Amino acid sequence: MKTDKALRRIAAMRRNDHQPVAEYVAVLPPDLRKAILDSLTLPERRALEHLLKARQERRRVRAIEDEKIHEAAAAKQEAALEAELSGFVDGLKAQRLTGDAARFAAASRYTLTQLVRLLSPEEREACRSYRKDEILTSRVRDLLGCSLTELNKWTRDGRLPTLRTKTISGLFPKKVTARTFLRAEVERAVGQTEDWRKQDGVQKAYRRRGLRVVRT
């Protein structure tokens, strides 16, 4: 049925010289095109062959261009990852001199497997301990008995630092990004929350009066 319809269309196009048959046949499904091939004139077949070769060449060129774009994007991403790793290594070296390299490593996005070659045995063990000790915001609020607003404020002004921000999957329908804290630091803060609230209350009162609290 489709073949008959296509042949009738071709016959109508032949009566109208402004409608090239080859262009019509070239866009037909391959099976239908094959079925009506014998009904084409020699010039129509040659024109069709030319169109199909041109289409194939365009697809080949497009595939090459797409591959080049993909390779360029991959190279750019690899360069960015290498630059990020280089910056991390520099930061790690600085932390060995002035701070806690293991905590710095634990706060990074790298897995313990990726960190193995960058850390000393002692640093690896400490980093593993930090990661094992991390807890999420909900647990922190339970331990401190605080609101999310209070926790955000204490985190923002440095009274209760976070360990890192990580992506969690499996617990929720989609992957989510969450802050983590060190349990030991949270537990040490339990006895300080009332003092923090008093400080916040004083600061709030000063702000209402247009004054500023200077921390010493």
pLDDT in tens, 129-145: 999 999 999 999 999 99
Q: Has residue 19 got a pLDDT over 90?
A: no
* pLDDT mean over 65-78: 96
Average model confidence (pLDDT) across the chain: 90
Whole-number percent of the chain with pLDDT over 70: 93
Whole-number percent of the chain with pLDDT over 90: 73
Quick check: 119 and 102 in contact, CB under 8 A? Answer: yes
Q: Has residue 146 got a pLDDT over 90?
A: yes
Q: Has residue 18 got a pLDDT over 90?
A: no
Q: What is the pLDDT of residue 20?
A: 87
What DSSP string describes 168-210? E-SSSSS-EEEEEEEHHHHHHHGGGHHHHHHHHHHHHHHHHTT
Q: Has residue 210 got a pLDDT over 80?
A: no
Q: What is the pLDDT of residue 209?
A: 74
Tell me how crowded residue 179 is: count the other CB atoms within 10 A of its CB.
17
If phi over 0 gives left and psi between -120 and 50 gives alpha, with beta otherwise, what is residue 148? alpha
Q: What is the pLDDT of residue 212?
A: 61
Reference 45, options 36, 54, 32; nearest CA is 36
Whole-model pTM above 0.85? no
Residues comprising the chain, all counted = 216
Q: 17-31, 43-57, 63-77, 178-192: which range is least confident on average?
A: 17-31
Residue 196's contacts (CB-CB under 8 Å, 6 or more residues apart) are 150, 154, 159
Q: Has residue 168 got a pLDDT over 70?
A: yes
Q: What is the pLDDT of residue 82?
A: 95
* pLDDT mean over 27-33: 91
* pLDDT mean over 37-46: 91
Q: Has residue 197 got a pLDDT over 90?
A: yes
Q: What gap in Å lies between CA 137 and CA 148, rounded to an integer?
A: 8
